[in-house]
Structure 1
Amino acid sequence: MRWQLASFDELSSRELYAALKLRQEVFGVEQTSLYVDPDGLDLEAIHFACWEDQLLLGYQRCLPPGLQEKESTLGRIVVAPAARGRDLGRELVRRGIAHNLQRWPHSDIRIHAQAHLEKFYKELGFSTDGGIYDLDGVPHLEMVLSNPNSSAD
């Protein structure tokens, strides 16, 4: 497996295509959620991917504080159906957390988690922040991982 961190401009057209395809396959088709996936945030994101040869196994985007939320965020976290059951999702999120804490050391991390994954994210250190809400037809929760180095408001 090969792990990749890249800005939007550093992604090849094939890498970008693979990420958008995987996101559409899982979030749009598998989960039957209708929404506009290219939301403008990809342009400022750090794209975090896991590859096996030319096959994209997992993907997430890391956003700086102030772009989507006041905190840094992890989003579009997805594992290819063929790669599930290998604990790749957990490793992907752990690496995303480490990246965000290193890159934005004074920021907490906020995610918009699918509600059925609350326990998974709690095991990785996130706390639920608010109740369940509908996002594009899928129940979600906001969750926050507190950074001990973040300044108190």
Structure 2
Amino acid sequence: METLHIYTKTFNELTITELYEVLQLRSEVFVVEQDCVYQDIDGKDQKALHVIGTKNGKIVAYTRLFNTGYYFDEASIGRVVVAKNERKFGYGHDIIKASITAIEKNYKQTVIKISAQQYLIKFYQSHGFKQIGEGYLEDGIPHIAMLLK
């Protein structure tokens, strides 16, 4: 299995090509694959740290991170995505581990909140996240708040 190369950048550090590939990947998965019409380009990317996973020079995994008080009271990970044809390699686990480390390093935070798609509860639990509260619909998709302490 090929190793995922993971790095973190601010919005202003992203190249035009990286930004295009990130938005293309998010659109492929969240809009097309999940058949969900929603505003992915939401004006928040400029405030986020972007965790990018590449394989053979192409972005195949991604998350965006926020410090406390911007998205939630806690630091947060969002827009967790892995290209459909790359999911069998465990890159989701790699990108989440890298995202948790990036929050600890860049924001000095250890409490992380996410809004997880409910079908991924076990995936996030394997990284120490615990379900909090009741499920809810976000853009028509069942979600659950989860916390890592």
TM-score > 0.5 by shorter chain: yes
Tell me the SS of whatever aligns to 1:84: helix
Partner Cα distance (2:37, 2:55) in 1: 29
Q: How does 1:71-110 map to 2 (within 5 A)?
A: 71-110=74-113
* Aligned-pair CA distance for 1:114: 0.2
- Does 1:130 pair with 2:133? yes
- Does 1:2 pair with 2:30? no
- Does 1:114 pair with 2:148? no
Q: Number of matched residues?
A: 146
Tell me the SS of whatever aligns to 2:113: strand
Moved over 3 A (4+): none
* Aligned-pair CA distance for 1:73: 0.4
Gaps of 5+ in 2: none
Partner Cα distance (2:105, 2:57) in 1: 28
Query: For 1:14, which of 12, 17, 21 is the aligned residue?
Result: 17
Gaps of 5+ in 1: 147-153
Query: For 2:42, which of 19, 39, 42 is the aligned residue?
Result: 39
CA gap of 1:77–1:65, structure 2 versus 1, over 3 A, is same
* Aligned-pair CA distance for 1:107: 4.8
Q: What TM-score do you get using the length of structure 2 for normalisation?
A: 0.94
Is the 8 Å Cα contact of residues 7 and 45 (structure 1) preserved in structure 2? yes
Partner Cα distance (1:107, 1:70) in 2: 13
Partner Cα distance (1:9, 1:95) in 2: 20
